[in-house]
Chain A
Amino acid sequence: MASLVPPPKLYTDDVSLIVIILDTNPFFWGTLSNTSALTFSFSKFLNHMIPFVNSLLLLNQLNHVVLIASGVASCGYIYDSATAVASDGGQKVPAVCSEILSRLEEFVAKDQRLGKGDLRTVAGSMSSLFSGALSLALCYIQRVFRSGMQHPQPRILCLQGSPDGPEQYVAVMNAIFSAQRSMVPIDSCVLGMQHSAFLQQASYITGGVYLKPQQLDGLFEYFTAVFATDLQSRTFLELPRPVGVDFRASCFCHKKTIDMGYVCSVCLSIFCKHHKKCSTCGSDFSHGHSELDRKRKHSEV
């Protein structure tokens, strides 16, 4: 008789922990379906995304997939393959999918409740809480790191559609740097119209893949061809590389994306205007002839 104790999990180097960050911004998805040029909708997106989650789990028995939704007012865990209950509901969709879908419904409903009366939604800002979702993902990965000596190779995949929220710049950059520190690559797949400077920087800094698919109806193909590759295989595969990276920063004072600005000489905070005092570290810039010097410089150039 076989022993009752399950054998310890043998995490080979191709076992992955994939944390997928899902953009559930209703404004983005609503507008996307309205534009006639692209016949792409959230349901179609789910049609590509959920089979991709399934195929990730099929790639290796020990693969571990976590879904995190980032809404406009909140973000939260949607699905965790480690704790999922394997029950067949006998519906049209398999058990995994029905779980994902029902959790997603719950999340969206909650996000709507929380978003009511929020200034950001009223003002029509359309960015999702990307920084929060990224932090959740990193927290989850840290927990796995600390669970034992052996753990699957973690990576984060961001499926973002809505534009960047410059007001999240500091939080996002902090999350990116902590991902870099714990050697977690951030892959990004941009579904929206514009490139995302946040994700470009995130993938560049952490060594992940940044991709903006041209054919949204072939999204599943992009997923399996590019984002399914585990970290071990990436060493000998040729993956798409970005042509350029938008390194622009947001100023700390007004959260505007700027090309040129002032940098605090003490703490490197970025400002779009000259300040007498750094709001981050409190350094006083009013001493000396800084104002005078600056004016002089200006007149010379």
Chain B
Amino acid sequence: MATITMAAKYKTSVKEPGIPGVLKMMEDRFVFTPNDPRSSTKLNVDFRQIKGHKFSKDGSKQALLNLTQDPEKGGGYIFEFNSFPDRNACRDFVGKVLGRIQSAEKPPASQHAEQLSTKELERRMKLLTEDSELQNLHRQLVANGVLMDSEFWAARQNLLDNDNYGAPKQRAGFKSAMLADVKPLADGRTNKVTFSLTAETIHQIFAEKPAVHRAFLDYVPTKMTEKDFWTKYCRAEYLHKTKNSVAAAAEAAEDEELAIFLKHDDILANETRRKIQRVDPTLDMEADVGDDYMHLPDHGILRDGSKETVEGDNEFSRRTLSQDLNRHGAVVLEGRALDVELGDTRTVAEALARSKQGSSTENSDENANMEKLERVCRMTEIEDLQAPRTFPVAPLCIKDPREYFDSQQANAVKTLGDNGAGMKPMDCSLSAEEAWIYLMGQISQVKVRGFNHPIVQSEAALKVLNGLNQNLSSTKYQFGKNSQESVLDRLPQRIKADLLNHWTTIQELLRHFWSSYPITTEHLSKKVIRLKDAMTDIYVKLQEIKESVQGDFRHQVSLLVQPMVQALDAAFAHHDNEQQKRAAKGGVKPNGFAQ
């Protein structure tokens, strides 16, 4: 957020026309330069003089921003912008700057080596409070001076970026407010009724009422102007609202364009029919048509203060609330895929038509029927009568089977030949022949002698049972109930926490350590020394942990500690190695590097 430059008009009060010029906002001040170089109204104001800012609502007549000064001085700087997005950008900027100035005024801002915006600091604080592990690490490394704050965060840029800050704002979908809520405004004096349509509403109308959309594409601008079109539409809507079906029928008879808006939407009806075909074929929707009780007197949904009932088969019968709701829900769920800036109605209409063409899949009725039959077969399948489904098996793919098996065979044979003698784990003192004879003898021995009596020897059995019991109770004690537990869970809580903590710290230190090489600046060499000291501390602590643990766990802990120690050893070895190399180079000390 360095600077922001916008075309704007400066005015001292809302009503005057204003002086066109350019407004430039910086971190600490804003400058207004009029387009007319002769004009004397130049502004250069420090933000510290500004106490607050006001602005006009989005969608109101003018895009205004009022930077108010101290109340006693009165007035302020009023700017009018060409568009609301321009104004909003400036408004957000001013908001941030003022917020920072106000927060900085309370506690004297700590002079850091780097200038951080409040936003940045806030995000860091938020990350630290959310992640206790990170906080721990931060406290350990930054507070103890091993790492600089900036170094610590540099490696975690992704965490900071991931925050929703700066990310493109989510595209807004359709409002949930219904079209029906485009309420006519009647002023009490005349008989005039006013509808107000915005680009947003028009887009929504197109999406929810395909017939209107089609009519617009057909009639505008060849047959009538856009204004006439919407007037007619609103008239039709008004007739809907007043529930005057007789008047509607009469007007429709006179004006065929108006009739389009009043008739049932045939595109929608088609679509509904297609959707019904896709419903589970075992469900008979036609049989359930009357189940909503809407046809009975005294039933219906309360809407706009009166009961809504379905009136006969009138061609101009009204849409019911549930129809409206369903249609709106369907459109909202489909989402809006238009990448066109809302504004010009014609482009919006065309873009919508294009996107619909892409998505609609027209298939002939015959096809649909076939598909439906097929699906009925599938749905009514009786499990017992079907052959068992075979498991889906992914075939093993070996690129060149011959090479694979041959090379393995050859290798295996070679290995056996090479160290066959060495591989013998047991003293194989008897030859193959003897072994076979022995085995056969054993089998026939059982055949001839029969089984021992008794099969269970009580002494041996007791030993076995005791052994098993002991084994069970001891593993239960050692492992707890869960067999999938990790080694760490068996350790005392404190040691486990210490080990995990050390492990994360070591990882952080090592990351910084290795990224510091090759050492090119004095800063880096100092950093490496700091890191090495910190690592030495941890090294000692690891040894202490190993020694402090009781007998049972000592082995496990030392196994866990070993990789940490190895990683640290590697780092130390590298460090010493580098040190020696530098020493060997002798007098050449780049950038005043002192050893």
Binding site for B on A (CB under 8 A): 24, 26-31, 33-35, 41-43, 46-48, 50-51, 91-93, 97-98, 101-102, 104-105, 108-109, 112, 115, 119-126, 146, 149, 163, 167, 181-182, 193-194, 213-215, 217-218, 220-222, 225-226, 238-241, 243, 252-256, 279-282, 300-301
Assess the A217–B457 pair: CB atoms within 8 A: yes
Interchain CB contact (< 8 A) of B439 among A29, A48, A97: A29
User: Given A193-B426, A281-B398, does the pair A24, B439 have CB atoms closer than 8 Å?
Assistant: yes
CB distance from A28 to the nearest CB of B (A): 8
Residues from chain A with a CB closer than 8 A to the CB of B451 are 47, 50-51, 93, 97
Decide yes or no whether B448 CB sits under 8 A from chain A.
yes
Say whether, besides A124-B420, A280-B399, A221 and B464 are in contact (CB < 8 Å). Answer: yes
Say whether A47 contacts B388, CB under 8 Å: no
B238 on interface, CB distance cutoff 8 Å: no
Given A47-B452, A225-B468, CB of A280 within 8 Å of CB of B398: yes
C-alpha spacing A29/B442, complex, angstroms: 10
Judged by a CB distance under 8 angstroms, whether B423 is at the interface is yes
Whole-angstrom distance from the CB of B567 to the nearest CB of chain A?
9
Which residue on B lies nearest to A226, using beta carbons? B468
Chain B interface, DSSP helix/strand/loop, else mixed = helix
Interchain CB contact (< 8 A) of B413 among A28, A104, A119, A256: A119
A43, A124, A217: the one contacting B421 at CB < 8 Å is A124
What are the 10 A-B residue pairs with the smallest beta carbon separation, nearest first?
A282-B399, A92-B450, A26-B435, A218-B464, A218-B460, A123-B420, A42-B442, A30-B435, A221-B464, A26-B439
B278 at the interface (CB under 8 A from A): no
Question: Taking the complex as formed, is B574 at the interface, i.e. its CB lies under 8 A from any CB of chain A?
Answer: yes
- Pick the residue among A29, A98, A126, A220 that contacts B428 (CB under 8 A): A126
Partner of A282, one of B400, B420, B442: B400
B443 close to chain A: CB less than 8 A: yes
A284, B391: Cα distance in complex, Å: 33
Q: List 18 A-B contacts (CB under 8 A).
A: A24-B439, A27-B428, A30-B434, A30-B435, A35-B427, A92-B448, A92-B450, A126-B425, A149-B388, A163-B425, A213-B464, A215-B460, A221-B461, A239-B472, A255-B412, A279-B408, A280-B399, A281-B398
Nearest B residue to A120, CB-CB: B416
The residues of A that contact B190 with a CB separation of less than 8 Å are: none
Q: Once the chains are docked, how many angstroms separate the CA of A238 from the CA of B440? A: 38
Question: Which A residues are CB-close (under 8 A) to B426?
Answer: 28, 31, 126, 163, 193
5 more CB-based (< 8 A) A-B contacts, given A221-B461, A243-B475:
A105-B440, A215-B464, A220-B461, A240-B468, A240-B472
Chain A: CB-nearest residue to B451 = A47
Q: Is the CB of B430 within 8 A of A300?
A: no
**A255 CB contacts on chain B under 8 angstroms:** 408, 411-412, 415
B 393-445 contacts with A by CB, 8 A: 397-400, 403-404, 407-408, 411-417, 420-421, 423-430, 432, 434-436, 438-440, 442-445
> What's the nearest-Cβ distance from chain A to residue B472, in Å?
5
User: Using Cβ atoms and an 8 Å threshold, which residues of chain A touch B413?
Assistant: 119
Chain A residues, CB < 8 A from B423: 124-125
B2 within 8 A of A: no
- Which residues of the other chain, B, contact A281 by a CB distance below 8 angstroms? 397-399
B446 within 8 A of partner (CB): yes
CB contacts (< 8 Å) of A125 on chain B: these are 416, 420, 423
| Complex CA distance for A74 and B508, rounded to whole angstroms | 56
> Assuming the A-B contacts A215-B463, A225-B465, are A41 and B442 also in contact, with contact meaning beta carbons closer than 8 angstroms in the complex?
yes
In this complex, the member of B434, B435, B440, B445 whose beta carbon has the largest number of chain A beta carbons within 10 angstroms is B435
Q: Is B483 an interface residue (CB 8 A)?
A: yes
Query: Is there contact, CB below 8 Å, between B436 and A112?
Result: yes
A253 touches B408 (CB 8 A): yes
CB distance from B401 to the nearest CB of A (A): 10
CB neighbours of A101 from chain B (8 A)? 443, 446-447
**Cα separation A253 to B408 with both chains bound (whole Å):** 6
